[in-house]
């Protein structure tokens, strides 16, 4: 038996049951903290942070300095020294 144009096949796929949606915990609202800097300073930050890690590097350094976490700040400085080579 050949199928003609516009004719539907007899077998239909069974409809899948929708998955229940996960309920996420409400996230803490985020704010933007921006500052201006020279292009040369931006280049230094990118070299120190490594590829695609500048934002996290700057955020970590600022939070370590603000909270007085000298150990975390020293670890960032050591990582920057390795990345600059």
What are the pLDDT digits (tens) for 50-84? 989 999 999 999 999 999 999 999 999 999 999 98
What global pTM score does this model have?
Answer: 0.64
- Give the dihedral of Cα atoms 38, 54, 32, 74; nearest 10 deg: -100
- As a three-state string, the secondary structure of 22-58 is CCCCCCCCCCCCCCCCCHHHHHHHHHHHCCCCHHHHH
Mean of per-residue pLDDT scores for the chain: 87
Question: Quick one: CA dihedral 5, 6, 7, 10, positive or negative?
Answer: positive
Q: What's the pLDDT at 23?
A: 83
Contact, 76 vs 64, CB < 8 A? yes
The CA distance from 11 to 23, in Å, is 36
Q: What's the pLDDT at 26?
A: 84
**pLDDT at residue 1 greater than cutoff 60:** no
């Amino acid at each position: 038996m050949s199928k003609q144009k516009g004719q539907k096949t007899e077998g239909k796929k069974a409809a899948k049951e929708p998955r229940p949606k996960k309920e996420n915990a409400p996230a803490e609202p985020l704010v933007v903290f921006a500052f201006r800097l020279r292009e040369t300073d931006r280049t230094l930050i990118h070299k120190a942070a490594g590829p695609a890690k500048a934002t996290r590097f700057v955020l970590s350094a600022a939070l370590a300095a603000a909270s007085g976490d000298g150990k975390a700040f020293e670890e960032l400085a050591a990582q920057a020294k390795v990345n600059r080579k």
